[in-house]
Structure 1
Amino acid sequence: MIERYSDHAANERTYLAWVRTAIAVAAFGFLVEKFDLFLKATSRTLGGQGPSAVGEGVADIVGLLVIALAGLMMVLATVRFRRTAAAIDSPDKRPATGVRMDVGLVALLMLFGAALFAYMAYSVVDHVG
């Protein structure tokens, strides 16, 4: 039996949850970056105007930034996982260090939400105006 198995299993579950979240964020970034293809196809079908060149550029930049954010989330989650695993195995008493890393990961998710909001707000203003 692995010593402190339940602690290691909980650490791994937390790590995998962050990895799944990062994969979902990366997939959404890809969707944002390629969404202009959908807008072009539907605008031709409906006889309307497609996305502007500025709108396409913003979508490409935001999509790539969101994908990079997902990669950063995976790196930070891996660092947190390794540090926690070392702390679990250590015989010494250590103060919890994962709080700052967790706050950093949540801050990245908040940054993702803010970028998404800015992109959606820009899209609405671009299509209305």
Structure 2
Amino acid sequence: MIPHFSDFSANERTYLAWIRTAISLMGFGFLIERFDVFLVYTTRGAVLGNGLHMRASEWLGLGMILLGAVLILLATRSFYRNCRLIQSETEASYRGSAVERVLTALLVALALFLVLYVGYQLTSLQ
């Protein structure tokens, strides 16, 4: 029997959830990066005026892909740190990291930007 097996498996499940989240974030970033192709298709190739910022979706998508890659690195670091803490005989208190709070703030800001951006795009098409 492996000592602390349930703790190790819970740590691994958490790690895999972070990896799934990062992959979803990168996939969504790719989708947003290609949003301008969708807009051109829906307007039947017409030149879009009124200052539409087609490049914004490309930069936002690239940013989300990079954020997903950084999230994988941070999740891996956290996974190994938790493995060491589980194996150690000393007691340690759980603390949330500032990285988690920063990532949460970034995702909320990203969601707000997407709402504003897509709303602007849709009102400009009319």
Shorter-chain TM band: 0.7 to 0.9
Mark the CA change 1:52 to 1:9 in structure 2 (over 3 Å): closer, same or farther.
farther
| Distance in 2 separating the partners of 1:3 and 1:112 | 37
| Distance in 1 separating the partners of 2:78 and 2:49 | 41
Q: 5+ residue gaps in structure 2?
A: none
| Distance in 1 separating the partners of 2:104 and 2:20 | 13
Q: Percent of aligned positions with the same letter in both sequences?
A: 35
Aligned length, in residue pairs: 124
Instruction: State whether residues 58 and 119 of structure 1, in contact with CA within 8 Å, keep that contact through their aligned partners in structure 2.
Output: no
* Alpha-carbon RMSD: 2.3
Which of 83, 86, 92 does residue 85 from structure 1 map onto? 83
Instruction: State whether residues 29 and 62 of structure 1, in contact with CA within 8 Å, keep that contact through their aligned partners in structure 2.
Output: yes
Where does residue 15 of structure 1 map in the other structure? Answer: 15
1:94 is aligned to 2:92: yes
CA offsets, 1:73-124, max 9 Å, x none?
Answer: 1111111110000000112222335x11xx5235313312312321331342
Counterpart of 2:99, as a letter, is G
What is the Cα deviation at residue 43 of structure 1?
1.1
Q: 5+ residue gaps in structure 1?
A: none
Instruction: State whether residues 4 and 88 of structure 1, in contact with CA within 8 Å, keep that contact through their aligned partners in structure 2.
Output: yes
| TM-score of the two chains, using structure 1 as the length reference | 0.82
Where does residue 4 of structure 2 map in the other structure? Answer: 4
What is the Cα deviation at residue 127 of structure 1?
4.5
| TM-score of the two chains, using structure 2 as the length reference | 0.84
More helix by share: 1
1:44 is aligned to 2:44: yes
Mark the CA change 1:108 to 1:120 in structure 2 (over 3 Å): closer, same or farther.
same
Which of 65, 68, 90 does residue 67 from structure 1 map onto? 65
Where does residue 104 of structure 1 map in the other structure? Answer: 99
| Distance in 2 separating the partners of 1:24 and 1:51 | 32
Instruction: State whether residues 22 and 74 of structure 1, in contact with CA within 8 Å, keep that contact through their aligned partners in structure 2.
Output: yes
SS at match of 1:44: coil
SS at match of 1:83: helix
